[in-house]
Structure 1
Amino acid sequence: MTEPSSVAKTGSAPDPTDFANYFCTYGFLYHQKDMLEDHKRTGAYYQAVMSNKRQFAGKVVLDVGTGSGILAIFAAKAGARKVYAVEATGIAASARKLIEHNKLSYVIEVIQGTIESIDIPEKVDIIISEWMGYFLLRESMLDSVLVARDKFLKPGGALYPSHASMYLAPIQSPNSQQRMSEFHGSMEGWADFLQDMKNFYQVDLDVLSDSYRQEQREYYLSTSQWTDTHPQQLLGPASCFKRYDLHTLTLEELKEPMKEDFIMHVTDGGPVDAFCGFFDVEFKGSSENPADVEVKLTTAPDPTGATHWGQQTFYISPPIDCAPSDHLKCAIGVSRRQDNHRLLRVKVAAKVEGNSMFAAQSQSPRMLEYNID
């Protein structure tokens, strides 16, 4: 199918490396299936749209990163007059096929291209997108949603979702010591390897030991891990350290490294083996066009199981000792990685405060750094 005549290319093609590292993953149906069968995710979007049919009826909607086309289909079923479904990858062909099969082509127009490089012939009333990555910001797709907002959204138009919040909670986890054990095992294996290279080939590789240690430490001790955390692991309530209103957030603010101070209460005492990070998004509409029914999608620890985002767990070794009366005074920094702007670097400073012996012994904050790959 040729590209719709209404589409005009106004920007450059996506960076080939970025396409290979990021966009190509979403071009496979298996990946779309993983997201679609996450019913907490898909169900929240369905409820947010179908419970607010009055907001969608007769409106023009833009779906940023349509993927399989499911959100565009929801919008059309809610009564949208026109839906522009923009998708950068080849999955756009599958979206067209699905939309045609569901007899919605008269409403939905699939446009293949990045939101930065396409144009549409009219302003829109609503932008809908499932842009969230691990720890909310991994993948940097929110950039594209804000670009779409600034280019195409009418004054007073609504974003679905409209708000987002980030959380960190203290947890207990046996995996923290396991990761440390795996790191030590890796270094023992390296020592055996060095000896073998000397014995078999008379080559001394010890000059590489520091680099190998740093590489393995980064992997085992300084990289967050996807987890399905059970609420019973929580040692205290989650603390919200960042909230976004997507109607007012600027692209420049989003790209700046985040720096926030907050308190985590350790109501059950320690030791704190790890921090658990997750996010919520809310569908509230805009102040001019508020939703009749507000819907929240949360990725918090849940006894019924995690969403496909799970939680990001940041292990602490050695753990932080706390008493039930203590709290952690924290500072967090979140920035984009220099080697790949879609990945994240997280820095946390945590100091025990309170009346316990642990607080008295805590002279300076623990400085922790992690990658989110």
Structure 2
Amino acid sequence: MEQQNGHAPDHAADLKGKDPDATDFANYFCTYAFLFHQKEMLEDHKRTGAYYTAIMQNQAQFRDKVVLDVGAGSGILAIFAAQAGARKVYAVEATAVAQHARKLVQHNRLGGIISVIQGTIETVELPEKVDIIVSEWMGYFLLRESMLDSVLVARDKFLKPGGALYPSHARLYVAPIRSNLTHQRQREFSNAMEGWAGFTNDMQRYYGVRMDCLNDAFHDEQKQYYQQTSAWADISPQQLAGRPWCFKQYDLLKVTQQEIIDSFKEHFELQIVEAAPIEAFAGFFDVQFKGSPENPASFEVLLSTAPDPDCGTHWGQQVFHLYPPINAQPGDRISGDISISRKKENHRLMRVIFQHRTTPNQPQPQAAGMKLQSTDRTDFYSIE
């Protein structure tokens, strides 16, 4: 029987786990089964390059180690780990794209090192503990998709004491921005309402059916979509009206599964640096590849999704539009709390609430007998 890289061919096919349940497959996993989607992620060279650098520049940390790739997709991270000298790599993928990953592994003559296992990580059993877990689990605004849950399950089930996660740390940011997209969505909202008015008139004119009793319901539905749902955008740094604020940090070796599941509220303060209408908040994240205290990376890597004039990522930024915008001057401060929770109807989607106020750098002149208008406000959003 042919030897590959000094190892016998893969005999781990019997390690197959269970498929995702039908609802979770339809809500999340189904898109990842397509090569088109895998290609889209691999073509994000800032993403793929960061993982490649983090692994290949730390070959001493991977050499002769046992590695687990959670949510392996095409198997690219497992291949990087094998190229870096790992003794054994388990690539666990919940969808049928595992079949393509297995073919890719064999085609690159790494079948003796990499075992591709199809099934959810929650249902897979490995024959040994692992030294390193690699995973590209991040969703929009870091936490959408809730893939981190599975990584923490793998950590608690399979990682040896002193083992490392790649990435090892994650941070969430918010920043004040100017955004033409805010005006565009407002126009689309107005157009949708005008279209509804014409529709109800036509229904009564041609069919004798009055539908104006649904006006409020249609308005609320469209408002939620256009004004209370975050939007993906590739923001230019020139749109930033103030410095980003890091409001949440995770040490992935220490954070618990319950901490990730629970909703949380964190404080933020945004210092405005130029006169501009603040038309939206932008949310983004970064992850760090530091290894573990017992096996630290000799070459640390940062993968950031912050606005970048040269190289954005497929994650982009999440834009939370403000209606109306905040009129701000240099030195003004927007401060408050951001709350993030999972949607009850789909735990892979998020709800975000901003409770904030604007404090001017210079006290505003107040006419005699006039009360100063409050700047306190609360804005609600969904990340779909």
TM-score band, normalised by shorter chain: over 0.9
Give RMSD over aligned pairs: 1.7
CA distance in 1, matches of 2:147, 2:373: 39
Deviations 1:259-318 (Å, cap 9, x if unpaired)? 001211111133101111100000000111110000000000000142000111111111
Give the count of matched residue pairs: 371
- 1:270 has 2:281 as partner: no
CA distance in 2, matches of 1:226, 1:372: 9
Q: How far apart are 1:354 and its partner, in Å? A: 3.2
Counterpart pick for 1:229 among 235, 241, 248: 235
Residue matched to 2:264 = 258
- 1:371 has 2:377 as partner: no
CA distance in 2, matches of 1:157, 1:73: 20
Counterpart pick for 1:338 among 332, 344, 347: 344
Matches within 5 A, 1:343-354: 343-354=349-360
Q: How far apart are 1:356 and its partner, in Å? A: 3.0
CA distance in 1, matches of 2:365, 2:195: 38
SS at match of 1:363: coil
SS at match of 2:255: coil
CA distance in 1, matches of 2:59, 2:311: 30
Contact 1:63–1:86 (CA under 8 A) maintained in structure 2: yes
Matches within 5 A, 1:154-233: 154-233=160-239
Deviations 1:31-58 (Å, cap 9, x if unpaired)? 0000001000000000000010000000
Q: How far apart are 1:336 and its partner, in Å? A: 0.5
Letter in 2 for 1:64: V
Deviations 1:6-41 (Å, cap 9, x if unpaired)? 5275xx652201101210100000000000010000
Contact 1:326–1:359 (CA under 8 A) maintained in structure 2: no
Residue matched to 1:76 = 82
CA distance in 1, matches of 2:304, 2:361: 34
- 1:326 has 2:326 as partner: no
Residue matched to 2:42 = 36
Letter in 2 for 1:154: K
CA distance in 2, matches of 1:362, 1:139: 40
SS at match of 2:348: coil
Counterpart pick for 2:98 among 92, 97, 110: 92
CA distance in 2, matches of 1:50, 1:160: 12
Contact 1:329–1:352 (CA under 8 A) maintained in structure 2: yes
CA distance in 2, matches of 1:124, 1:145: 13
Residue matched to 2:285 = 279
Segments of 5+ residues of structure 1 without an aligned counterpart are: none
SS at match of 1:106: coil
Residue matched to 2:253 = 247
SS at match of 2:15: coil
Counterpart pick for 2:317 among 311, 318, 322: 311
Contact 1:322–1:359 (CA under 8 A) maintained in structure 2: no
Kindly tell me: are residues 13 and 305 of structure 1, through their superposed partners in 2, closer, same or farther at Cα, counting changes over 3 Å?
closer
TM-score, normalising length from structure 1? 0.96
Residue matched to 1:7 = 15
Residue matched to 2:137 = 131
CA distance in 2, matches of 1:321, 1:182: 23
TM-score, normalising length from structure 2? 0.94
Letter in 2 for 1:7: L
Q: How far apart are 1:364 and its partner, in Å? A: 4.4
CA distance in 2, matches of 1:359, 1:266: 20
Contact 2:19–2:94 (CA under 8 A) maintained in structure 1: no
Kindly tell me: are residues 150 and 197 of structure 1, through their superposed partners in 2, closer, same or farther at Cα, counting changes over 3 Å?
same
Which range is displaced more, 345-354 or 138-147? 345-354
CA distance in 1, matches of 2:373, 2:67: 53
Deviations 1:132-164 (Å, cap 9, x if unpaired)? 000000000000000000000000100000000
Q: How far apart are 1:182 and its partner, in Å? A: 1.2
- 1:53 has 2:48 as partner: no
- 1:114 has 2:125 as partner: no
The sequence identity of aligned pairs, in percent, is 59
Letter in 1 for 2:374: Q
CA distance in 2, matches of 1:37, 1:5: 29
CA distance in 2, matches of 1:288, 1:152: 17
